[in-house]
Amino acid sequence: MQYPNYQLARFIDRPNRFIAHCRLIETGEVVTVHVKNTGRTTILQPNVTTALVESHNPTRKTKYDLVAAKKYDQFWINIDSQAPNKLVKAGLRDNRIQLPEIDQITQVTPEVTFLDSRLDFSGIGDEQKKFFLEVKGVTLENAGIAAFPDAPTTRGLKHVKTLQKALDKGYLSYLLFTIQMEKIKAVTIDRDIFEPLAIEISKAQRRGVHVLAYDCRVTPDSLILNHPVPFDLTQPFISDGLPSSIQTRTQEYKR
């Protein structure tokens, strides 16, 4: 996917989870921007290079969306929380994403309700195999290891439980992590942030839920689905120690 009308800026601060202040590199103007990720991503630190996408909607309160940031001035991480579903939707429809037990995907439907949950996708594969798939975007990284989540997620825990219930109804079930960066060796669950999710995913895998991961090629103005990456619950994840850029009084986010 491409982002038109992008500008580079230096991050200043993030008063709350919805907005941030950045200084445009080209003009030096300080602008208030919408952050397209309400989680506690640690990459947004003072003076970090960011990518802003300009909106021409006159009714908006903010002129720009913050969609990516350059970690340590070395590599880009996309933090647009809406982007993973768009990439996966296209990847499923053109069969670029390979689902175990399915050779050919013939139908994809986004945003479906199953029991008491809303899952990202349902679909049909060859031999009329029906499936559900839930997508999770990943923006945490340290030393080539990516991790999810960036905050406790009761919603994510519920999705994993629902995928197991789908198995009982005869569906194939998939949990797919979209890693919004490149050159990742493995992805895991950050147990320090939310160990119940790791426990539930382990249970789901034993029952037959397939857990997949893909990384992405990221530039300031693009995000492209790249290659499969191993998902490994046994892989330790050590936080890089960066403090959250959101004020400590902000409550933990339930996503």
* pLDDT, greater one: 56 or 48: 48
Which bin fits 144, alpha (ψ -120 to 50), beta or left (φ > 0)?
A: left
The percentage of the chain sitting over the pLDDT mark of 90, rounded to a whole number, equals 89
Domain boundaries, given as residue ranges, for the chain: 6-78, 83-228
pLDDT category of residue 38 using cuts at 50, 70 and 90: confident
Taking the complete model, does pTM exceed 0.85, yes or no?
A: yes
CA dist 254 → 28, 38, 51 (Å)? 35, 10, 26
Total Cβ atoms within 10 A of residue 144:
9
pLDDT category of residue 192 using cuts at 50, 70 and 90: very high
Mean pLDDT score across all residues of the chain: 93
* pLDDT, greater one: 143 or 240: 143
CATH C-level class of 6-78: mainly beta
The percentage of the chain sitting over the pLDDT mark of 70, rounded to a whole number, equals 94
CATH of 83-228, one of 3.90.550.10, 3.40.1350.60, 3.40.228.10, 3.40.50.360: 3.40.1350.60
The pLDDT of 3-21, averaged and rounded, is 96
Domains 6-78 and 83-228 share a fold: no
